[in-house]
Structure 1
Amino acid sequence: MRRILVAGTSLVCLSLGLAACQKEDEAGKPEVIRPVLSTILKSQSVQVRGFAGKVEPRFETKLGFRTLGRIVRRDVSVGDQVSNGQEIAAIDPLALELAVQAAEASLSSAKAQLANAASTEDRQKALLSQSSATEATFDQAQQAHEAARASVVRAEADLTKAREELGYAVLRSDFDGVVTSLQADVGQTVTAGQQIAVVARPDVREAVVDIPEAVANPIKIGSKFGVSLQTDPTIQTSGVVREIAPQADEATRTRRTRITLEQPPEGFRLGTTVTAYLTTAADPRIRIPATAILDKDGKTFVWLIDSKQATVSAKEVKLENRTNFEAIVADGLTDGDRIATAGAHSLTDGQKIKLTDGNPL
């Protein structure tokens, strides 16, 4: 019996000893200090935003034949300069030429019938004056004459139409410009109205950019932009907004904006990629990077840094105009606050931190 009590007492002492050792180990374990990146917040009232786009012509025409046919000639290539009335392409004119010949023959026949109807009317009129013909016969001759005259008018209109359609066999430019696109080649059969070429006027050029809907709202017709080449930002010009799409694109949520360039340099050729800059004076707002934002339980937080204690604490904020890159703080932060800009999902309340961005706490 004594042996059992001694054994039990030994086990209890052993357990207490292990627990004490474990507490000593935990007490001696150093606290984890997490390195973080941070920023000190400051309101900004002037914004400079850049939007990528390209140079496009303000005026361009999509040309196509007005009749069905097979292309037998194409006289231009993409990039060629064309003048007003210059031939661009042509279709086989044989069927149209035959139509003109048929119309000419129909006109000749109608004129012959008119001459015969006129002679018949004159003859019936003479016979009626001699009482050798009836009034009804003369009326029939007179009606036949009028019908023959109408047939001549119709035949002349048909001939004019056939000759006009023969002119459609040649596609011509409507103004001086540059060929920017070709959609058909020799040997291809095209339908009436099918697009063959696009001719643009290079004298009036525009920068076409897609601007996010949240940014585009304050932009108005006549707003000023600075525009520079992406390949050489030193080549710059200015522009004025001429047109803003009334609705945002469903997929990108951007609104297409056309900026008329004012005396663009030679480097602003059609198709060149550019960057349009907008400088606006807005109400002072605090901007934070998207990497500083923590979404939890339907709320939005950032990690506010306590410089004295070298710790972080979750601070609920309200945001507006949030994108994948940044957001504007509507409420919850003030100028001078320091927040962590990375590792938002791996920090905990009260956690000790040290800064790795060179800014002292």
Structure 2
Amino acid sequence: MRRLPHLMLGLFALGTLVSCSKSEEKPPEIIRPVLSVVIEPRTTQTFGFAGSVEPQVSADLAFRLLGRVVSRDVNVGDIVSKGTTIAALDPTALELAVQAAKAELSNAEAQFANAAASEERQRQLLAAANTTQAVFDAAQQARKAAEAGVERAKASLAKSQEQLGYARLFSDFDGVVTATGAEVGQTVSPGQTVVTVARSDLREAVVDIPDQLIGDLTAGTPFQVILQSLPTIQTEAKLREIAPQAEGSTRTRRVRLTLTDPPQAFRLGSTVTATRVTKVAPTIELPMSALLEKDGVDKVWIVDPQTSSVSAKDIKVAAKGAATFTVAGGLEAGMRVVTAGVHSLSEGQKVKVPEGGV
């Protein structure tokens, strides 16, 4: 019976030791997966400018005469060939003018024939001393005047025939109709646009570029032009022309880029994006989610690849944007920076970087 209290005391002491040892055990450290990125300084910058495909060569076709349009054989989108009649004016008055010019020429030729015959008779009479020199000289002068009248009538006929040709409107090159400016039955004045024709083989991209980005652009600068409706379709282009003056309200300049062997999908009027890659000083840019602001100091978490732990690194921020910020100093290429959950990390905390580094 005396051994029972000693046994109970021993069991109590043993339980106390076991409980103390359990309380002194540390919980296992949690290794947290993080999103991160390896710093790669950016050495190039890509600029994109929206624009459209336009013809390099376009002509506003108009009649040279006042008249009423009696036919217009084309509409927008139609293909026209060189020399094919596109529109015509009422030729009645012009045809009558040609007939009148022909009649005047016939009359002038008859007068010339009569004057020439009279001169020949006076020459024979003068040789036989049956007329005076003054009469012969008058006959000779009349023949020369009649000859000049023939030349004047011929010129008048040629002018009338040429004006009759002006009643027909045609294109000087193969192309496509892009606009119309007059309808059948409408009276048009000389120079008024009736049809606009553009060459479809020579196309260019027309974009507006901010004035501050024009400085290093020169003729022949290469661009990449992407079709917005089908981004997989692209083509090369070279700068052909820069507007000499910026637009007043937008401060942009109109730039024309000649397309190099563009696919058929680059139709006139298509919306495109012209991109250009330029070299810049090495710049480190990170997402705003990577920035930790603490006690007025900008920091980022750096992942140590040897220990798989994080440590705070002081940095200098050059500029902040809506989604990114630019680092002015404190980081080097090859460092791995945590890009999410920066406010829930602690110095030296173990982390896990998923495969792929993100």
| Same structural fold, with TM-score higher than 0.5 when normalized by the shorter chain | yes
Given the alignment of the two structures, is residue 62 of structure 1 paired with residue 60 of structure 2, yes or no?
yes
Distance in 2, matches of 1:242 and 1:70, equals 40
* Alignment pair present for 1:308 and 2:288: no
* Residues 115 and 43 of structure 1: CA distance in aligned 2, closer, same or farther (over 3 Å): same
Contact 2:83 2:170 in 1 (8 A): yes
Question: What SS is found at the alignment partner of 1:234?
Answer: coil
RMSD (Å), alpha carbons:
2.8
Higher Rg of the two aligned structures = 2
2:334 is the alignment partner of 1:336 = no
Call closer, same or farther: CA 1:82–1:340 in 2, change over 3 Å: closer
> Contact (CA 8 Å) 2:292, 2:342: kept in 1 or not?
no
The question of whether the paired residues in 1 share the 8 Å contact of 2:51 and 2:205 is answered with: yes
1:144 aligns with 2:152: no
Q: State the alpha-carbon separation in 2 of the partners of residues 223 and 58 from structure 1.
A: 17
Q: 1 CA distance for matches of 2:315 and 2:98?
A: 83
Q: 1:184 aligns with which of 156, 177, 182?
A: 182
* 2:294 aligned counterpart, secondary structure: coil
Identity %: 54
In structure 1, the residue matched to 2:97 is 99
* Aligned residue in 1 for 2:114: 116
Is the CA contact (8 Å cut-off) linking 1:71 and 1:185 kept in structure 2?
yes
CA contact (8 A) 1:57 1:201 kept: yes
Greater mean deviation of Cα atoms: 218-227 or 244-253: 244-253
CA distance in 2, matches of 1:121, 1:132: 14
Query: For the residues of structure 1 that align with 2:265 and 2:176, how far apart are their CA atoms?
Result: 16
Aligned-pair distance for 1:43?
A: 7.5
CA distance, structure 1, for counterparts of residue 113 and residue 57 of structure 2: 53
Give the residue type in structure 2 aligned to 1:264: P
Which AA in structure 1 matches 2:113? A
* 1:63/1:197 contact within 8 Å kept: yes
Query: Deviation at 1:279?
Result: 0.5
Identify the match of residue 174 of structure 1 among 172, 186, 189: 172
How far apart are residue 306 of structure 1 and its match?
8.8
Distance 2:191 2:81 in 1: 22
> How far does the alpha carbon of each residue in 1:144-183 deviate from its partner, in whole angstroms, 9 at most, with x for none?
1011101101111110111111111111121111111111
CA distance in 2, matches of 1:239, 1:335: 41
Post-superposition shift, 1:339?
6.2
Distance 1:52 1:341, change over 3 A: closer
CA distance in 1, matches of 2:119, 2:342: 113
Q: Equivalents in 1 of 2:98, 2:319: separation in Å?
A: 83
Cα offsets for 1:37-94 (capped at 9, x unmatched): xxxxx97541111101100111122111111110011101100011111111101000
Deviation at 1:266, TM superposition (A): 1.8
* 1:238 match: 236
The Cα of 1:133 is off from its aligned counterpart by 1.4
Mapped partners of 1:358, 1:135: distance in 2: 123
Instruction: Determine helix, strand or coil for the equivalent of 1:307.
Output: strand
**Aligned positions of 1:278-297 closer than 5 A:** 278-284=276-282
Q: Counterpart amino acid of 1:110?
A: A
> Within 2, Cα distance between the matches of 1:338 and 1:113?
96
Q: How does 1:120-139 map to 2 (within 5 A)?
A: 120-139=118-137
What secondary structure, in the 3-state scheme, does the structure 2 residue paired with 1:78 have?
A: coil
From 207, 215, 220, the counterpart of 1:209? 207
Equivalent residue for 2:256?
258
Whether the aligned pair in 2 keeps the contact of 1:43 and 1:335 (CA below 8 Å) is no
Secondary structure of 1:61's aligned partner: strand
What's the offset of the Cα at 1:287? 9.2
Gaps of 5+ in 2: 1-39, 299-313, 323-339, 346-358
| Contact 2:52–2:206 (CA under 8 A) maintained in structure 1 | yes
Following the alignment from structure 2 to structure 1, what is the Cα–Cα distance between the partners of residues 161 and 122? 38
Q: Secondary structure at the match of 2:120?
A: helix
Deviations 1:4-49 (Å, cap 9, x if unpaired)?
A: xxxxxxxxxxxxxxxxxxxxxxxxxxxxxxxxxxxxxx97541111
Q: What secondary structure does 2:212 align onto?
A: helix
Shift of residue 247, structure 1, vs aligned partner: 2.1
Counterpart amino acid of residue 144 in structure 1: A
Query: CA separation of 1:188/1:358 partners in 2, compared to 1, >3 Å: closer, same or farther?
Result: farther
TM-superposed CA distance for 1:267, in Å, is: 1.2
Aligned residues: 273
Query: What code does the residue aligned with 1:129 have?
Result: A
CA distance in structure 2 between the aligned counterparts of 1:335 and 1:203, rounded to whole angstroms: 55
Give distance in 1, aligned partners of 2:104 and 2:315. Answer: 90
Paired with 2:248 and 2:189, the residues of 1 have a C-alpha distance of 33
Give TM-score, length-normalised by structure 2. Answer: 0.70
Q: Which secondary structure does the structure 1 equivalent of 2:265 belong to?
A: coil
Which residue in the other structure is 1:317 paired with? none
One-letter amino acid of the structure 2 residue matched with residue 227 of structure 1: V
Asked whether the equivalents of residues 47 and 277 of structure 2 are also in contact (C-alpha less than 8 Å), the reply is yes
Secondary structure of the 1:249 match is coil
Q: How far apart are the structure 2 equivalents of 1:286 and 1:53?
A: 31
Q: CA deviation digits over 1:304-340, x for unaligned, max 9?
A: x99331479xxxxxxxxxxxxxxxxxxxxx9732766
1:182, 1:287 → 2: CA distance?
Answer: 52
Which residue in the other structure is 1:301 paired with? none
